[in-house]
Amino acid sequence: MRFTKMHGLGNDYVYVNCIGEKDEKGENVENPAQIACLVSDRHTGIGADGLILICPSEVADVKMRMFNADGSEAQMCGNGIRCVAKYVYDHELAVAGDGFAVPGQGSFEASLEIETGRGVLRLGLAIGDDGKVEKVCVNMGQPILVPAEIPVRLNGDSVVEMAIDVQNQRMLMTCVSMGNPHAVFFYEDLDSLELEKIGPIVENHELFSERINVHLVKVDSAGEFTMQTWERGSGITLACGTGACACCVAAVLTGRCQRIVKANLPGGVLELNWSEVDNCVYMTGPAVEVFSGVWNIFSS
């Protein structure tokens, strides 16, 4: 199986081109859930937070399928989709469209459309002097706040700073879906918290029928916050694009930040804009291709 290793802010995935590449049997990837577990292992596999397939689409330039390190399939991945856009443009899998405007922030010179579990998303591409994509802006769509649609087993119109007991301490939780579910907790001192213990407890809490991504956030100013992430199915990661968008929305809903903010993640910085014009969240950040290779799937 031919693959390419890519990352967005250290959130790394194994990418497989299911449009132009075939495995040794002449077929596209089979059993992707099982393969995701094998290739993600950092000791016996390639090493990654998961597996992303770049597939043909009837409604967009390409379709993205994303599998976590435990084999579970997720609807969306913000860092992953930026890397898909870079791969598609750099490897000429599709012809880029016209420019892409970000409300109140300027524009990008080229664009692509990618089908995801959340629907078709539009992305703006910043092209470097070498003709390769350096930075990508994604229109992540409108945040979902209704509990039943996130999903959270609660009634009402939203979940904003609701008390939940975790490890004998009361935590205030705000829930947002950006195509996949997120629980956001604000704290002044992130170093005092043990994400490796809090993360799996919240992820698998009975409130969440599909589990949930967990984020601990410290607000640095009205235009900046620092966050740590526990991703469902993968554990602690260096970055989470959909999570950063959810944290931006949660910070605005709780009166902590303005709509245009900078998110500091362990792997780097994302620029976020929850636009008042169309209610969509725009996320901008880098995408990096690391290396390519061939993995002998049949001996694993």
On whether both 12 and 131 belong to a single domain, the answer is: yes
On whether both 294 and 269 belong to a single domain, the answer is: no
pTM of the model: 0.93
* E-state strands within 168-267: 169-177, 181-186, 213-221, 224-231, 235-237, 260-265
Question: Contact at 8 Å (CB) between 116 and 82?
Answer: no
On whether both 73 and 164 belong to a single domain, the answer is: no
On whether both 130 and 175 belong to a single domain, the answer is: no
On whether both 103 and 160 belong to a single domain, the answer is: no
On whether both 162 and 265 belong to a single domain, the answer is: yes
Question: Contact at 8 Å (CB) between 76 and 66?
Answer: yes
Token digits of residue 24 = 């040794």
Structural domain of residue 255, as residue ranges?
147-279
Tell me, what's the pLDDT at 24?
46
| Domains: count for the chain | 2
Tell me, what's the pLDDT at 105?
82
On whether both 197 and 237 belong to a single domain, the answer is: yes
- How far apart CA 159 and CA 174 sit, in angstroms, is 5
Active-site residue flag, 248 = no
On whether both 9 and 108 belong to a single domain, the answer is: yes
Looking at residue 196, which CATH number applies to its domain?
Answer: 3.10.310.10
Tell me, what's the pLDDT at 25?
43
Across the chain, which has 300 residues, the per-10-residue mean pLDDT values are 96 94 56 95 96 97 97 95 98 95 90 96 96 97 98 97 92 97 96 94 96 98 98 96 98 98 98 97 97 79
On whether both 123 and 220 belong to a single domain, the answer is: no
On whether both 181 and 273 belong to a single domain, the answer is: yes
* E-state strands within 77-188: 100-102, 106-108, 110-116, 119-127, 133-139, 162-166, 169-177, 181-186
Annotated catalytic residue, options 83, 175, 240, 247: 240
On whether both 158 and 129 belong to a single domain, the answer is: no
Question: Contact at 8 Å (CB) between 182 and 153?
Answer: no
On whether both 46 and 134 belong to a single domain, the answer is: yes
Annotated catalytic residue, options 37, 77, 248, 257: 77
Active-site residue flag, 240 = yes
Question: Contact at 8 Å (CB) between 140 and 280?
Answer: yes
